[in-house]
Amino acid sequence: MKYCLALMAIVLVSLAPSLSQAQNQALCGKRSSVVAGLENKYSETPVSIGLATNGAVIEIFASQQGSFTIMITTPSGHSCLIAAGNNWESLKPKLSEFKS
C-alpha cells in the first residue's frame, strides 16, 4: 500500500504542470463528449481506472499505436485531460507488490 501511495504522489506531482496547462487550454467538458473525442480522433480506449480520495475518477486511455491520455472526472461528471503522450506500454504488475 505504501508503494501505491508513493507512486501516486510522484505521478500527481509530475502531472501538475500538465494539469495547469490543460485547464488553460480548456481541454475539459462532459465526460461522454471527451471520451468520444479520444476514441474518434486518436482511437484511444480506457486501459486503467482509479478512484481518488476526493471522489474524482482518474482514467488512462491508450491506443494500439501507443498514444495515451490521462483524464480526471469530478463526481459531477466534468472531465479534464491532464496529460497526453506517446509510447504507452502496459506492464504486468507483480502480485507480491500489492499485498499488504
Residue 99 has pLDDT above 70, yes or no: no
| pLDDT tier for residue 85 given thresholds of 50, 70 and 90 | very high
pLDDT tens sequence across 1-43: 444 434 444 444 444 454 444 444 558 999 999 999 999 999 9
Question: Residue ranges of the alpha helices (H) in the chain?
Answer: 2-24, 31-42
Q: What is the pLDDT of residue 33?
A: 93
Domain boundaries, the chain: 2-89
Q: What is the pLDDT of residue 43?
A: 96
pTM, full prediction: 0.68
Amino acid identity for residue 31 in this structure: R
- Is the sign of the CA dihedral 85, 79, 34, 47 positive or negative? positive
- What's CA 68's distance to the chain center, in Å? 9
Q: 61 — alpha (psi -120 to 50), left (phi > 0) or beta?
A: beta
